[in-house]
Amino acid sequence: MLEKTTIGRGEGNTLVINLNDSEIPHVHGGILFYGGEVIVRDLVSANGTFVDEIRLHFQAPIKSRHAVHFGPVRARLELDTLTGTDASTEMIAVHEM
């Protein structure tokens, strides 16, 4: 689990999406892990970042099963709590929808 994940079509991002899609900027947004919270952040992209169809105006906390759209690309956050652990040790993954 990384503390910060960058998302965009540039090869230097943690999560590279649609390298040939000009609708996604080189760095579109990011996902931050702060304490027990997961925060999605838009980096002033032209096509926007949306959480459950609501456009972000910088950043917002997200929960498991929230749909996140980075421009035309959709993803869903899945959080699986391990038995006997607290929220700070959750396993985190982003799945394509």
Domains, in order of start, for the chain: 4-96 (2.60.200.20)
Residue 87 has what pLDDT? 47
Residue 47, sorted as left (phi over 0), alpha (psi -120 to 50) or beta, turns out to be alpha
State yes or no: pLDDT of 83 exceeds 50.
no
Residue 97 has pLDDT above 60, yes or no: no
Predicted confidence (pLDDT) per residue in 18-29, tens digit: 767 777 888 888
**Residue 11 tokens, joined:** 């090869």
- Mean pLDDT estimate for the chain: 79
Instruction: Report pLDDT for 25.
Output: 84
Instruction: Note the pLDDT tens digit of each residue in 29-57.
Output: 898 888 888 899 998 888 889 999 999 98
Strand partners, 29: 7, 42
pTM over 0.85: no
